[in-house]
Structure 1
Amino acid sequence: MPFTDKPFRVGTHTLTSRLIVGTGKYATYDLMRDCLEASGSDVITVAVRRERLVDAQGRNILDYIDLSKYTILPNTAGCFTAEDAVRVARLGREILSGLENPGADWVKLECLGDKKTLLPDPVATLKATEELVKDGFQVLVYTTDDPITARRIKEAGAASVMPAGSPIGSGQGILNANNIRICLEYLKENDPDYPVIVDAGVGSASDVSYAMELGCDGVLLNTAIASADDPLTMASAMKLACTAGRLSYFGGRIPKKLYATASSPDTGIVRPAGG
């Protein structure tokens, strides 16, 4: 019987795709629109405080996003304090409420520690998570791959914990698969359907597939598509990789062995004369 996957639920939202893509760094809004379509994603993330909401021609990014098709996941990219992140999250909610988009009730929380590494500040991130949960948000939290921090964030009420594979935009892929595995173990203990999404560092389709093969529920990426040599082709590759990795995880890989194991049986075969 063909494999039938479970619905992908994050808080009260049910997603059709396990790939979430961003809207930054594209050369043009037209290219962004086409890549969003090619990725197959139904949730796209938009930085509320993005520097260029309107381009030099006076075009607004929202003019190129079909709000009846996509659920917007507003994010707090560029925030370096809990207070700033909470304020930007509330601004995003107001914007999307006015647009009647279902993404108004959730937020992707980024609370960064410094501009060089763009790594999250764990203390400020936890503080902002607690505040936003109290304020009624479903909070998807960008964090490091530290399992203890991940568990604390879940305990604070996060709708999803999103450990980084590697630093934002670095393209290094998943640098510490063991930590991701432990995060999955900690976060899914007694709650196997809790959504864990790898966020940041993806560079290629194989990175997406690897994240899914580890047992992650989804992948969020932006730069890997937007800054690729051929973004449209890469968007299609990411879509296929996400599906392939998910199927591979449930298919169950064979164990790694030091020596060869013959694919063909050594019994019932034709023997040479005198053998």
Structure 2
Amino acid sequence: MDRSTNGLVIGGTTLRSRLFLGTGRYPSPVVMRQALAASGAHVVTFAIRRVNLDGVAEDTVLQHFSDRELVYLPNTSGAADADEAVRIARLARAAGLGDWVKVEISAHPRSLLPDPLETLRATERLAAEGFVVLPYTSDDPMLCKRLEEAGAAAVMPGGSPIGTGLGILNPYNLGWIAEEARVPVIVDAGLGSAADAAQAMELGADGILVNTPVARARDPVAMAEAMRLAIEAGRLSRLAGRIPKKRYATASSEPEGRLFAAAEPRSGNAPAGASRGGAR
């Protein structure tokens, strides 16, 4: 993987965009198509359980993409364990949806946080069967490393729980994951706005997956465009290299060439001519 180029390669496929877009919860199919166009996304994700696998060509979700050149990333949302996730992925491939799969196994119905053990097991099994596996996982650096070792084509740590809009709760971990990963890092879940997407890219992410922050925005089409621009800006900022954070101010101009000599600094905070403890 070459992080210095504009192209993102996953599973041997060069993607036109670093923005992955979800397809659920839009006000209408028309708005979804408009948002997709505004986002420039090359990869779209959808829950396999929402798709009619007996008639993929006529499916009510997929029919809206038939005129576009896209990469499908079906996900195993709703799977309770590795066995179920593997079974769902196999059904999707048999129905003609391709080899890409987002492993999504939630451990708790309220938090929807991924089950680390079942996610790792499913990733190992599906990678061995030739799938391009992108597991949705927590922001645990060691778990991301284990998923990479298990054959994941990319890792997808969440910024915060799905649909919360809380943004990136642990930037330290995401930065660490991006620094250590030898596969692409796609930040998935919990983002709320374009600012969160830019932050994720500045931390070193290779891409972003969003659904709710676009679909449920007041103007989904405008938010889709904002996400696209934020990803471009965040990545460019990352490559440009931010200045180090400092505790004290640093002048942007040098002191040489001043018209007037600088006043001698006074010690403490007391006004000139006044003692700290006595009366004036």
TM over 0.5: yes
1:233-272 superposed Cα distances (whole Å, 9 cap, x missing partner): 1111000000000000011111112222222222124348
Amino acid in the other structure paired with 1:137:
F
CA distance in 2, matches of 1:175, 1:150: 17
> How far apart are 1:6 and its partner, in Å?
4.1
> How far apart are 1:67 and its partner, in Å?
5.1
Q: What TM-score comes out, normalization by structure 1 length?
A: 0.87
1:214-239 superposed Cα distances (whole Å, 9 cap, x missing partner): 01101111000001111111111000
Matched, 1:50 2:39: no
**Contact 1:22–1:221 (8 Å) recurs in 2:** yes
CA distance in 2, matches of 1:240, 1:179: 24
Matched, 1:176 2:170: yes
State the match for 2:249 in structure 1. 260
CA distance in 2, matches of 1:138, 1:30: 30
CA distance in 2, matches of 1:115, 1:205: 27
1:124-145 superposed Cα distances (whole Å, 9 cap, x missing partner): 1111111111211010010001
State the match for 2:87 in structure 1. 87
> How far apart are 1:59 and its partner, in Å?
7.6
Unpaired segments of 5 or more residues in structure 1? 98-103, 189-193
Q: What TM-score comes out, normalization by structure 2 length?
A: 0.86
CA distance in 1, matches of 2:12, 2:93: 16
State the match for 2:278 in structure 1. none
CA distance in 2, matches of 1:62, 1:142: 22
1:140-174 superposed Cα distances (whole Å, 9 cap, x missing partner): 01000111111111111110111111001110111
Matched, 1:146 2:140: yes
CA distance in 2, matches of 1:75, 1:19: 16
**Contact 2:161–2:190 (8 Å) recurs in 1:** yes
Q: Aligned with 1:79: secondary structure?
A: coil
Matched, 1:241 2:207: no
Number of matched pairs: 254
Amino acid in the other structure paired with 1:227:
R
Q: Aligned with 1:219: secondary structure?
A: strand
Matched, 1:210 2:204: no
CA distance in 2, matches of 1:96, 1:33: 22
CA distance in 1, matches of 2:190, 2:254: 43
CA distance in 2, matches of 1:86, 1:67: 29
Matches within 5 A, 1:99-248: 104-188=98-182, 194-248=183-237
CA distance in 1, matches of 2:67, 2:96: 10
State the match for 1:191 in structure 2. none
CA distance in 2, matches of 1:50, 1:68: 20
Stretches (4+) displaced over 4 A = none
CA distance in 1, matches of 2:6, 2:233: 15
> How far apart are 1:51 and its partner, in Å?
7.8
Q: Aligned with 2:233: secondary structure?
A: helix
Q: Aligned with 1:160: secondary structure?
A: coil
State the match for 2:26 in structure 1. 26
Amino acid in the other structure paired with 1:127:
R
CA distance in 2, matches of 1:63, 1:141: 26
Q: Kindly tell me: are residues 18 and 126 of structure 1, through their superposed partners in 2, closer, same or farther at Cα, counting changes over 3 Å? A: same
Unpaired segments of 5 or more residues in structure 2? 262-280
CA distance in 1, matches of 2:181, 2:132: 17
> How far apart are 1:29 and its partner, in Å?
0.6
Query: Alignment identity in percent?
Result: 52
1:97-135 superposed Cα distances (whole Å, 9 cap, x missing partner): 5xxxxxx01111101101111011111111111111121
Rg comparison, structure with higher value: 2
